Amino acid sequence: MNRRAYGAFFAFLLLGAAPVPSPTPSMQPASQLKTIVNVRTTPFCNAIAQHFNAAVEPMLANDRDFDQVDVQLVDLNDVFHHPDYQIRYAGIRVQLLKYVDRIRASLPQIQQQINQLRDGEKLTKDPQEGKQLHLIAEKLQQAYNKQFQLATDLTGVVQTMMSYEPPADLDIAQSELAEQSEPKDMKDLKSYLRFNGQRDVIDQSENAAADSAIDLVQNHCSVQK
């Protein structure tokens, strides 16, 4: 399994703007929230904390689900090399459906929070603050768009798997799925879906949004001692 670079991406909390979530066993340490204390409580600063965090937390949860999807796609490429391939195939299908459904269910809320974060531009008269917040929302939008695209592509994979039943004769299955003239990308679902490349774009966009958000809060919302 590919381990993603969560370390550079973390959300922030403004003191008093939102409760600090309790860690859960499924959360990786690198995705914990950074807390910035001693802040100015203004509508602009509160809007950043509320809507940035509300978008980021489910996006990080989706990233962890994509980690699990990665495992299933790798297993799917190898499934017909095992004598119990029918059981393995059915199990992978169930797991993919679970993760994809969970990701898709989170997407409307994420989009809503990104839209509301972008609306925070109206809460400041400082053009620099507004511009920086707009760029943060755009980076989150880029990450969201790729999560949406991957979820859509994976839904197609699951639907195809639901309509296909592996034949009882393993030799027939191997013949159907291992044509010598078939391009390599068509044999490797991860490659065909450009799975790693799309996830790299998600990571880069999330990291850029987090870096800019922390910079904005520290420079415009933090109380200097």
User: pLDDT by residue (tens digit) across 4-41?
Assistant: 444 333 445 443 343 434 444 444 433 444 544 455 67
Give the percent of the chain with pLDDT over 70: 71
Summary mean pLDDT of the chain: 79
Counted domains in the chain: 1
Whole-angstrom Cα distance, residue 15 to residue 18? 7
Tokens 């109380």 found at: 223
* Residue 153: per-residue pLDDT: 95
* Residue 5: per-residue pLDDT: 41
C-alpha to C-alpha distances, 72 to 89, 188, 198, nearest whole angstrom = 10, 12, 17
| 63-116 pLDDT tens trace | 999 999 999 999 988 887 788 888 888 999 999 999 999 999 999 999 999 999
| 128-184 pLDDT tens trace | 999 999 999 999 999 999 999 999 999 999 998 888 777 666 565 455 554 443 345
Whole-angstrom Cα distance, residue 100 to residue 28? 20
Question: What crossing angle do the helices spanning 127-163 and 195-220 adopt, rounded to 10°?
Answer: 160
Q: Looking at the domain assignment, is residue 225 inside a domain?
A: no
Q: Is the dihedral of CA 161, 189, 204, 11 positive or negative?
A: positive
Whole-angstrom Cα distance, residue 34 to residue 213? 12
Whole-angstrom Cα distance, residue 197 to residue 177? 25
Q: Looking at the domain assignment, is residue 1 inside a domain?
A: no
The answer to whether the CB of 69 falls within 8 A of the CB of 147 is: no
pLDDT band of 206, cuts 50, 70, 90: very high
Whole-structure pTM value: 0.78
Please state the φ and ψ torsions of residue 223, each to the nearest 5 degrees: -85, 115
Please report, as a single letter, which amino acid is at residue 92. I
Whole-angstrom Cα distance, residue 30 to residue 60? 10
Q: Looking at the domain assignment, is residue 17 inside a domain?
A: yes
Q: Looking at the domain assignment, is residue 142 inside a domain?
A: yes
Please tell me the total number of residues recorded for the chain in this structure: 225
Tokens 């973390």 found at: 10
Name 21's Cβ contacts closer than 8 Å, sequence gap at least 6. Answer: 33, 57
Range of the structural domain that residue 51 is part of: 6-220
